[in-house]
Amino acid sequence: MRILFIASEVEGFVKTGGLADVAYALPKALHALGHEIYIVMPAYQMIEDLWQQWPSKPFNVEISYFNTESVEARYGANEGLNVIAINHPKSYARPNIYDDGTYAYEDNAYRYAVLSKAALEWCKQENWQPDIVHANDWQSSLACFYLAEHLKGDTFFANTRSVLSIHNGAYQMHCDARWLSQIGIDDRFFNPHDFEDDGHLNVLKGAIGFADGVSTVSPGYASELTSPTGGHGIDFKYRELKRPLKGILNGCDYDQWNPETDPWIAKQYVSIDEEGKTLCKQSLQKELGLEINPKIPLLGTICRLVDQKGIHLLVPVILQLLKHHDCQIAMLGSGDQNMANQLQFIQRQYPHRFHFVNGYDVGLSHRIEAGIDAFLMPSVFEPCGLNQIYSLRYGTVPLVREVGGLQDTVCRLSNSQRNLKTATGFMFSELTEQALLEETLRMIDVYKNKHTQWRAIQKNGMTKRFSWKKSAIQYQDFYRDLLKSEKNTHRLISQEE
Ligand code: ADP
């Protein structure tokens, strides 16, 4: 198959979260299955040293009746994969990806409309007919709309099907309705069933109804998205899909996340019976100014500082743990300054037991995964989550909330502890400090007092594999099903009445 993969971030170039990991690893795995694939992304300013050296080809893109933009396709590669960076300085020559450091850029809908439409136009320029256009999150979701509406009668795309993958359904791109005409959405689609959301434009909400197939990154999150409590306000859109929302669990890039080969960590290790993990813990304690002590449980987390990650639960629980229990905690995160301030405040109170690094640091994220004993992930919601999967591979025991992909990837040690052959971690359900604290204390108890059980959980986790090949085969089957079926003929509610 010929697959056009459109993403706003790609690991190796720019990354703010899990979407970038997928946009790198999934195309790689699909390519390995024998498919022809192009990744299309913006030519952002922060990576201009790279793409400025790539050959370029200019062309025009009609975004709407009013707006035609001149763009350039820059032809590059990422580990053997074809990458097209769309150069449109008006949209991408800015210091950050999505915001000015405080506020989202007010023309974000337009910037990513350019990406979505340019990706489709590039296919025509190259006479490269895609079987599948795979859009990701709100940023490229309009590609599905443009294919279904702007290019409806275009024979070039007659056999093309669109897929929209939801990596995080909370980000939908709400903006002023004046952008509608700018990005080529006809007024008749500004109704509560499509792009309208309380008088505003909601890009993702509308685009979902135009995709031939919609998928998300875990079966657990797929079922949450269709429920009123987990659908981020647009659950009806997921329930109404003609083809049910497909949950395909993300894989893990074990080329990057493998303690046997990891270049970032103090000592590589194959099994936890070796000294490697102990040395990694010691080295992390030293690096972060924590007391060097192999016996004390060292917990940790790495995340964007946003509400989704359950920081409001974590902060009071960390304080309780530090006040009343013997443990250390290492945190790496960036985002909300208020949350960062609270964590820095805790660090000043407990400098040898708590360390928070405010920033984005790939090397340190690897050293934390290898050096800590347990990884805390008390997410409010979690489409898939990657760090719990990395943790398993490093013999680091995950403690997660029972949501989304976390429940699909971690097997909780039961209260009776009879499932020692399969358990890989700890899990709590209720979104309360109490529930998180209780499960954390249960985990610390196993760590301190039940060494054999702890070792068993670590070993079970280390043997787990979430391969991208397996995920890519599921995407491939999903694509094939779509190609065998009719296109999604989106009907206006008004037409149905
Ligand atoms: P999300 O996409 O919601 O941020 P995921 O768990 O799916 O969450 O993916 C997060 C990815 O970003 C992981 O690879 C994680 O290691 C990485 N990451 C998050 N915050 C940081 C940070 N401050 N420094 C380094 N890596 C980070």
Residue-wise pLDDT tens for the chain (497 aa)?
999 999 999 999 999 888 999 999 999 999 999 999 999 999 999 999 999 999 999 999 999 998 999 999 999 998 889 999 999 999 999 999 999 988 999 999 999 999 999 999 999 999 999 999 999 999 999 999 999 999 999 999 999 999 999 999 999 999 999 999 999 999 999 999 999 999 999 999 999 999 999 999 999 999 999 999 999 999 999 999 999 999 999 999 898 999 999 999 999 999 998 899 999 999 999 999 999 999 999 999 999 999 999 999 999 999 999 999 999 999 999 999 999 999 999 999 999 999 999 999 999 999 999 999 999 999 999 999 999 999 999 999 999 999 999 999 999 999 998 899 999 999 999 999 999 999 999 999 999 999 999 999 999 999 999 999 999 999 999 999 999 999 998 776 655 54
Instruction: Say how far apart CA 19 and CA 6 lie, in whole Å.
Output: 11
Q: How does strand 426-428 pair with strand 161-166? A: unpaired
Q: Is the CB of 361 under 6 A from ligand 1?
A: yes
Q: So what's the pLDDT on residue 417?
A: 87
Q: What is the DSSP letter of 104?
A: B
Which residues are within 8 A (CB) of 292 and not within 5 positions of it... i.e. 6 or more apart?
A: 282, 285, 286
| 404 CB near ligand 1 (under 6 Å) | no
Residue 85 CB less than 6 A away from ligand 1: no
358 lines ligand 1 (CB under 6 A): no
Is the CB–ligand 1 distance for residue 17 below 6 Å? yes
Bridge pairing between strands 374-377 and 298-305: parallel
Q: How far apart are CA 460 and CA 426, in angstroms?
A: 13
Q: Is residue 79 left, alpha or beta, with left meaning phi > 0 and alpha meaning psi from -120 to 50?
A: left
Whether 387 is in the pocket of ligand 1, judged by its Cβ within 6 Å, is yes
Q: Is there an atom of ligand 1 within 6 Å of 384 CB?
A: yes
User: What pLDDT does 199 receive?
Assistant: 96
Question: Which mutation among 367, 384, 386, 406 tests ligand 1's pocket best, with the greatest number of atoms within 8 A of CB?
Answer: 386
Two tokens at 248? 């395909």
Looking at the CA of residue 369, tell me the nearest atom of ligand 1: 16
Distance CA 422, CA 413 (A): 8
**Residue pointed to by tokens 């359904």:** 169
For the chain, the first-to-last Cα distance in angstroms comes to: 38
Q: Which residue puts its alpha carbon closest to atom 17 of ligand 1?
A: 17
Strand, coil or helix: what is 16?
A: coil
- Rounded to the nearest angstrom, the distance between the alpha carbon of 302 and the centre of ligand 1 is 7
Q: How many CB atoms sit inside 10 A of residue 15's CB? A: 17
Cα separation, 204 vs 142, in Å, equals 8
Distance CA(61)–CA(111), nearest Å, equals: 13
Using the mean position of ligand 1's atoms as its centre, give its distance from the Cα of residue 361 in Å: 10
Atom of ligand 1 nearest to the CA of 217: 7
Find the largest Cα–Cα distance for the chain: 70
The neighbour count for residue 480, using CB atoms within 10 Å, is: 14
Q: Say how many Å lie between the CA of residue 387 and the centre of ligand 1.
A: 7
Nearest Cα residue to atom 9 of ligand 1: 18
**Atom nearest to 332 CA in ligand 1:** 23
- Would you say the CB of residue 217 lies under 6 angstroms from ligand 1? no
Q: Which atom of ligand 1 is nearest to 308's Cα? A: 3
306 lines ligand 1 (CB under 6 A): no
Q: Is 488 in contact with 212 (CB distance < 8 Å)? A: yes
Residue 191 CB contacts under 8 Å (≥ 6 apart), including other chains:
492, 493, 494
How many whole angstroms from 49 Cα to the centroid of ligand 1? 24
Is residue 333 within 6 Å of ligand 1 at its C-beta?
A: yes
By the 8 A CB rule, do 251 and 339 touch? no
Q: Is the CB of 16 under 6 A from ligand 1?
A: no
439 CA → ligand 1 middle, Å: 23
Structure tokens given for 463: 């043997």
185 lines ligand 1 (CB under 6 A): no
